[in-house]
Structure 1
Amino acid sequence: MNVRGAVVDLDGTVLRGETLLPGAADAVTALRERLDRVLFLTNNPTVAPREYAARLRELGIDAAAEDVLTSTDATVAYLRENHAGEPAFPIAEASIVDQLRDAGVALTDDPETAEVVVAGYHREFHYRDLQAAIDALDDETAFVGTDRDATIPTEDGRSPGSGAIIRAVAGVTEREPDAVLGKPSATTARLAADRLGVPTDECVLVGDRLDTDVSMGERTGMTTVLVRTGVSTDADLADSDVEPDYVLDSLSDVPGLLAGE
């Protein structure tokens, strides 16, 4: 198998909540010894890359900010390319809002002056947020979501993700998003390929979700590996049109696959 780079999902593949999955650290080390580049790619918009890298280091995986690409990174890139300077009204957690502000996105706290609404993960989502969405979204206002994950894997099971918030906003406004970033969006795929510096047909993508991880890899010509440590199950595989190249129990099985073992 001619593989030079790896895109590795985090939540459900390397981590579950704040806990490192068994064998994940050794697997990342083995991948780095074999490949030119390993990139962590997550649809979690709440944690900035430098914070994710620090968390990984605390858990025993060497990582720098440039080794992590998040759905908020992709959202910022999309806004810069398509809505530069336009005031954005965020319906999202403070950590996402802070990242948007730090990246230079023009923000407004008045929904009626917004030219873009950005919706994402929000544990304090409230009725007033739905009202703000109604006030903000008209035919000329763009609607952007950070990522499509309806649920996320945690140590206590699955919890609502950004997709749940985006769908709530879409439902109350009767308006579908103009763009949803994160995996499997084209923007995220392009950013990942640029960061890796390796042709996509020489990359493997490892993740736990058919609809985001495997779908993005399939669209871009990467070898795809679904691991059973997160969201998608064997039953989901049977019902899905998305077909991974390989299905493995965990990330720890990937180095052996690449070595032909």
Structure 2
Amino acid sequence: MTGFDAALIDLDGTVVHGGSLLAGAGAGVEALREAGLEVLFLTNNPTRSPAGWADHLSELGLPGDADEVLTSAEATVRYLDAHHAGARALPVAGPAVVEQLETADVTFVEDPTAAEVVVAGYHAGFDDEEMTRGLRALLDGATLVGTNRDRWVPTDAGPIPGSGAVINAVAGAAEVDPEAVLGKPSQETVDLAMDRVGAAPGDCLLVGDRLDTDIAMGERAGATTALVLTGAATGSDLEQTDVRPDYVLESLAEVERVLDGDAVDGA
């Protein structure tokens, strides 16, 4: 029925929208599981832990466990441990994000002049004070690491600025480029995902709603990609990008058509 060993599934805009499960998402995930695929939810939303996401999905009627969720915060922790172990880090991110990063082998500091690395991510309370702290640390020689590049995120009330907006603001003020931005489509996230599902990229199906993160990551890695039109991207966006999904689906509910080989080709 399918040549895939694993499915990497985005969450916001693919499975959930704000606090609700998208129509047909549960059936789509169940179809993948019944087909024998290892399922991994892959999210650039760093505000919930994997356990928090698993609980949230279960509350919405989609049972799972923490091992089935990989977040951009986890990828950021892995990067900090590999490249900045023992460093003094200044967080320019909200409390929920900082909480996810506390397992990293860094010491968080409040003094910008003491920081060796600035870690920026989603921050609902981002303001001039936070901008100034990040700016001063970067001008004093700290490097910049971001949790993920999403410039906006969907909510029940409408789009709000995401991690990428914070990272871009701080980087722009200091006129520096981030040393790394984790989450999708980074190679670090690809490597973590492949380790988690125990499969090669070419044996994976990646399903998501964003061309610049989800589909770009799958395309670069060599996975089969399916764009769903329930979130950020629209059909017209396909005419304005070089990123080409292998399949375009109205929603995750149609993913079984990819498994059966009769979904609409995205080329």
Judge same fold: TM > 0.5, yes or no.
Answer: yes
Structure 1 unpaired stretches of 5+: none
Cα distance in structure 1, aligned partners of 2:76 and 2:58: 25
TM-score by length of 2: 0.95
Cα distance in structure 2, aligned partners of 1:46 and 1:14: 16
Contact 1:6 1:35 in 2 (8 A): no
SS of alignment partner, residue 60 of structure 1: coil
1:199 corresponds in structure 2 to 200
Cα distance in structure 1, aligned partners of 2:127 and 2:140: 24
In structure 2, do the counterparts of structure 1 residues 83 and 45 end up closer, same or farther at CA, with 3 Å as the change threshold? same
Cα distance in structure 1, aligned partners of 2:118 and 2:155: 27
1:100 corresponds in structure 2 to 101
Cα distance in structure 1, aligned partners of 2:232 and 2:203: 26
Structure 2 unpaired stretches of 5+: 263-267
Matched, 1:223 2:221: no
Shift of the alpha carbon at 1:168?
0.6
Contact 2:81 2:104 in 1 (8 A): no
Shift of the alpha carbon at 1:156?
2.5
Shift of the alpha carbon at 1:104?
4.5
Structure 1 counterpart of 2:225, which letter? T
Give me the identity figure in percent: 52
Contact 1:217 1:224 in 2 (8 A): yes
Contact 1:137 1:143 in 2 (8 A): yes
Cα distance in structure 2, aligned partners of 1:103 and 1:177: 18
Cα distance in structure 2, aligned partners of 1:256 and 1:244: 15
1:77 corresponds in structure 2 to 78
Can you list the C-alpha shifts for 1:78-130, whole angstroms capped at 9, x where unaligned?
00000001011000010111121244432111111111100100010010111
1:211 corresponds in structure 2 to 212
Contact 2:5 2:37 in 1 (8 A): yes
2:256 corresponds in structure 1 to 255
Structure 1 counterpart of 2:219, which letter? E
2:134 corresponds in structure 1 to 133
Query: What does 1:1-261 correspond to in 2, within 5 Å?
Result: 1-138=2-139, 140-261=141-262
What is the root-mean-square deviation of aligned Cα atoms in Å?
A: 1.2
Aligned pairs, how many?
261
Contact 1:226 1:246 in 2 (8 A): yes
Contact 1:76 1:105 in 2 (8 A): no
Structure 1 counterpart of 2:46, which letter? P
Contact 2:229 2:250 in 1 (8 A): yes
Cα distance in structure 2, aligned partners of 1:200 and 1:225: 14
Displaced runs of 4 or more, over 2 A: 102-105
Shift of the alpha carbon at 1:139?
6.6
Cα distance in structure 1, aligned partners of 2:80 and 2:26: 34
TM-score by length of 1: 0.97
SS of alignment partner, residue 137 of structure 1: helix
Cα distance in structure 2, aligned partners of 1:233 and 1:119: 29
Structure 2 counterpart of 1:172, which letter? A
- Quick check: 95-104 or 177-186, which moved more? 95-104
Shift of the alpha carbon at 1:36?
3.2
